[in-house]
Every structure is written in C-alpha cells, then in structure tokens.
Structure 1
Amino acid sequence: MTWKHPSSPVTKKFKVQRSAAKVIETVFWDAKGEILLNILPQDKCVNAAKYSSTLGCLRDAIRCKRPGLLRRGVVLQHDKATPQSARLKLQWLQRYVWEILHHPAHSPDLPPSDFFLFAPLNRHLGGMALENEGDLIGD
C-alpha cells in the first residue's frame, strides 16, 4: 500500500512480459558446414571444466564427421577467450597439436563468422519468437 495525495493521478499497472532469455551457443564449423553445435543451459556458465569438455566433444565430432581433418590439422578461431580458458587452450594445443587463428577483439576486419555463420543464422531465425531452448535446438 502506498500513501498519496487525494488529487494525485491513479498509478498505472504495466503489463509484465517475459524477457528475452539468452542462451550461449557454441558453434564449430568449417567450409563444409557445422561440425558441432553446443548449447549451454541458461543457469550455467562457461568455466574451465565446461570449456575442456566442449573441446573433447569437438574432437569426437571431428573424428565422426571429418575423419581426415585430425590428421591434416585443426585450426581454431577463438572469440572472447577468458583467462581460465587460456591455460586449457595451451594444454589442448600441446596435446593435440591444434593451431589457433588469432583475431584481435577490436579489429576493423570482420571475422569469418560474421559472413558465413551469423548472416545465414539471422536470415533463418529472423523474427522468430522461440518459447524455450528446445525450439532453438529443433530448428
């Protein structure tokens, strides 16, 4: 209950709408298409253990979808690498001889994902209202 002057206007009640839920989606892809799509639940965050687990899943996915790629060499382009993932990244590089393609965070050049991943994804998902994570995975 709030106290107000008798001549003050009536307070308006606003409609409450569901806010847009954010999901962290990690996509690994090459010129032939998607290799691994990993969606992190809303209540989880990326930590060193999750990062390591995702790289293990990537290695398994490459082994299944692109068998010769592991022998020829894997090149990863990381976006927003955090300090806790930097140590793990170096361990994976040493263990599996994967190469990292560095792209500066504030470079005027757009990374390849802006052209070959996000543009088609925006065309596909543009204007869609998804109710839950299952809708995202289903599309």
Structure 2
Amino acid sequence: MTWKHPSSPATKKFKVQQSATKVIVTVFWDSRGMILLDILPKGESVNADRYCETLDRLRHAVRYKRPGLLRSGVVLQHDNATPHTAKRTKEWLERFRRDIIPHPAHSPDLAPSDFHLFGPLKRHLGGKKFEDEDELIGEVRDWFSKLEANFFTQGIYSLLPRWQKCIALHGDYIEK
C-alpha cells in the first residue's frame, strides 16, 4: 500500500511484456571448438537420466568430430549439480571410463563455460527479441558456429591460473 495525497496523480502501471521461455543448453567444448551443443526440449528438466542421454550423444559426437579424442582421454569438468553427482551418472562415467576434474563448491570461476562462454553469449543476445524459441535456438547455434578456434583455446588456457590460485588457497572460495 502506498500513501499519497488525494490530489496526487494515479500511479502508472507498466505493461509487462512476456519474455520467451528459458532454453536450457548443455555445452561440451575443448580448446579446438564446440563438440556438442545439446538443447533441452521444452518442458523437460535435467535429471540424471537425461544427462546420461546427453553423455551418450557426446560419445557419438566425439566419435565423428574428434575420432582420436576418446582414445586419448576425455576429462569432463562437472560442478556439484545433482545430475552430475547422481548414482546413475557415476555408473555411466565408470562404465565408459571417463575422468572428472573435481570442482569445489561455489566456484564458477573454475567453470570455463561460466567465466568464458556464457558471458559473451548473454551479451550477444542482450536486447534482442525473438518471436519464438526456435528463433532463439537458431541465434544461439549461429553464434557458436561463428566463434573462432582461438576463442576456445583462450578459454581452456585461462583455466590453468584459476586452478593454480584455487590450489594455493587449498580449495577455499576465490573472490575477485
């Protein structure tokens, strides 16, 4: 409730424009570029079963895009999200002999997608209006396809000093 004088002008109500629904994107990339961009179908959420399906798609993508990568050892970096730590996911990782880089809690500065990829993507999409989800997804795919290889290389190499700082602080939370 707002107190005002009886002769005060009426409060203006702003018309809220409904935004597009959220699009959940799972990204797998290395120093040479994008390996897999997996977009969650509308209405679905990420759980361990869905994440393991995405890992299966990753195995398929790697087999065709980077044939030697599976033999040389793919190391995944997971945060502590439930789909990443679930029993089903751990069994999948063990079955396909995938290693995981440990990720201290509350450390987005150690997740290359968070500190290197999604910021520029958000800036690119900022202020743009999309008619529907398909148009948004097309724009996201287009943006990723236009990134040069050195963009990905810089993201991977910038992880090293961040990890060194984390190790020096014995895994304590890192502030800017």
Do they fold alike, i.e. is TM over 0.5?
Answer: yes
Go from structure 1 to structure 2 and tell me whether the alpha carbon gap of 1:15 and 1:125 turns closer, same or farther (over 3 Å shift): closer
TM-score normalised by structure 1 residue count: 0.78
Q: How far apart are 1:100 and its partner, in Å?
A: 0.5
* Aligned mates of 1:80, 1:25 — CA distance in 2: 17
Structure 1, unmatched stretches of 5+, are 1-6
Aligned residue number for residue 73 of structure 1: 73
Structure 2, unmatched stretches of 5+, are 1-5, 140-176
Aligned residue number for residue 52 of structure 2: 52
Aligned residue number for residue 130 of structure 1: 130
Q: How far apart are 1:111 and its partner, in Å?
A: 2.3
Q: Secondary structure at the residue paired with 1:29?
A: strand
* Aligned mates of 1:11, 1:120 — CA distance in 2: 38
Identity over the aligned pairs, expressed in percent? 63
* Aligned mates of 2:10, 2:115 — CA distance in 1: 51
TM-score normalised by structure 2 residue count: 0.64
Aligned residue number for residue 3 of structure 1: none
Q: How far apart are 1:36 and its partner, in Å?
A: 0.7
* Aligned mates of 1:80, 1:63 — CA distance in 2: 27
Opposite residue 50 of structure 1, the aligned amino acid is R
Q: Secondary structure at the residue paired with 1:97?
A: coil
Q: Which has the higher contact order (CA 8 A, sep 6+)?
A: 2
Go from structure 1 to structure 2 and tell me whether the alpha carbon gap of 1:67 and 1:46 turns closer, same or farther (over 3 Å shift): same
The answer to whether the 8 Å contact 1:47/1:85 transfers is: no
Go from structure 1 to structure 2 and tell me whether the alpha carbon gap of 1:101 and 1:25 turns closer, same or farther (over 3 Å shift): same
1:42 counterpart = 2:42: yes
The answer to whether the 8 Å contact 1:51/1:85 transfers is: no
RMSD: 2.7
Q: How far apart are 1:84 and its partner, in Å?
A: 8.0
The answer to whether the 8 Å contact 2:108/2:114 transfers is: no
* Count of paired positions: 133
Opposite residue 137 of structure 1, the aligned amino acid is I
Q: Which moved more, 1:52-61 or 1:14-23?
A: 14-23
Go from structure 1 to structure 2 and tell me whether the alpha carbon gap of 1:110 and 1:13 turns closer, same or farther (over 3 Å shift): same
Go from structure 1 to structure 2 and tell me whether the alpha carbon gap of 1:126 and 1:16 turns closer, same or farther (over 3 Å shift): closer
Q: How far apart are 1:72 and its partner, in Å?
A: 0.5
Q: Secondary structure at the residue paired with 1:116?
A: helix
- Bigger strand share: 1
* Aligned mates of 2:109, 2:16 — CA distance in 1: 41
1:91-102 correspondence to structure 2 within 5 Å? 91-102=91-102
